[in-house]
Amino acid sequence: MRGYFFHKSLRRSLVQLLDLFRTIYIARYNNEGYATKIIRVPLSFGPKEKAFYWQKSSGKKTDEILPIMAANVTSIDFDSARMANREQSIVISRDLTAKSLKMFKNAMPYNVGINLNIWALHIVDIDQILEQILPFFAPHNFIRVYFPELDARMDVKVILNNCTPDLTEDMAEEDWRAVKWTIAFTMQTYMMRPLIISTSSGSVESSGSYDEYQEIPPSASGSLPGLGFEMGSGGVTVLSSGIVEKIITRFFDSDLGWEDRGTETVFTSGANTSSIESMFMEGLGFDESAAVMYAYDVFGENTHD
């Protein structure tokens, strides 16, 4: 059973995408060609609530103040081409004292369609805005998204698909020209999966599937989700983790063996017992001294000269 979690995968990706366009400027030039004014183009994500717009416009003014840019989400599609091993765990941290791991499974790849709508009074304003965006996409660029609760950082590819004008060409008496363009982007982002807190203190074995994880509410206060947790928190835990102490007592019968000893004393394994076989099968922490002990323990052979 999964617990509540909310990593703000979509929101964080959107903010980082909008961050690309928050410093777009246009200039006004006088008749001699000298710039006389620099204007930063307002950017917002929309649509917002009517009440928001009403309050921001003091409830009265409905003037068009241009240029302006507004982004909106047009689609979210699964991207099978970027799908990786969904069962692969990415370890965030390990606490050797508590014998616990923090990890999450591979994120799910999704393509988010974004339209950046640009509205200006003059075509030359559109030219300036486009020229500050298009050169940086070939046709892609990268943004970075960090998830502090997962300690995970992703490079997200943003692809510029096309630019489409929406110009008023046929104008009736009461019409006047509108200069609007739309730039379509595809943001190849990821949907992060729940955090796994894996400990060795539990009594229930697990195969590592999400289905077997015990639900832990964000506040860890009981079986029901608690309150007061911060946005972005939440996770699950699995009992009986794969973290296993290397239980072989090292015997070093020569100076050479001492110098060649392994420095790792703890390793991770899929096994839930502290068995020497798991150490061999995993191949972790396996050194020359351990091989001697393994041969003696499993096969009763003394391979030490």
Partner 1 sequence: MPRRPNPGLTKPKWSLYDLNFNQEHDLVTGYLMEMTDIAGIEVLYYRRNEDTPYDPLYGEQTNTNYDEPITTKVLYDVGEEPNLWSSFGMFGGDILTCHIPQGTWRRDISQTLEPMIGDAIHIKWLDREFSVVHVDNDDRIFQLKKMIYILVLRPYRFSEDSESAAAIYTESVPMSAYGDNEWIETQSNSIDDYTDVDDSIYLR
Count of residues that bind partner 1 according to CB under 8 A: 63
The yes or no reply on residue 34 touching partner 1 (CB under 8 A) is no
Of 4, 6, 66, 109, the residue at the interface with partner 1 (CB under 8 A) is: 66
H/E element, 196: strand 195-199
> Tokens 């617990």 belong to which residue?
3
Binding mask 172-191 for partner 1 (x = CB under 8 A): -xxxx---------------
H/E element, 188: strand 179-191
The yes or no reply on residue 120 touching partner 1 (CB under 8 A) is yes
The answer for residues whose C-beta is within 8 angstroms of residue 59's C-beta and 6 or more apart is: none
Of 2, 35, 46, 95, the residue at the interface with partner 1 (CB under 8 A) is: 46
State how far the Cα of 96 lies from the Cα of 199, in Å rounded to an integer.
10
Of 4, 6, 10, 72, the residue at the interface with partner 1 (CB under 8 A) is: 72
The yes or no reply on residue 125 touching partner 1 (CB under 8 A) is yes
> Tokens 């074995």 belong to which residue?
205
Instruction: Judge whether 143 and 158 are in contact, CB under 8 Å.
Output: yes
Instruction: Judge whether 235 and 195 are in contact, CB under 8 Å.
Output: yes
The yes or no reply on residue 139 touching partner 1 (CB under 8 A) is no
State how far the Cα of 171 lies from the Cα of 282, in Å rounded to an integer.
74
Interface stretch with partner 1, choices 121-129, 184-192, 203-211, 220-228 (CB under 8 A): 121-129
How many CB atoms are closer than 10 A to CB 61?
8
57 vs 201, beta carbon nearer partner 1: 57
The minimum distance between CB 90 and partner 1, in angstroms, equals 18
Contact footprint for partner 1 (CB under 8 A): 12, 15-16, 18-23, 28-31, 37, 39-47, 50, 53-54, 56-58, 61-72, 117, 119-125, 133, 136-137, 141-146, 153, 173-176
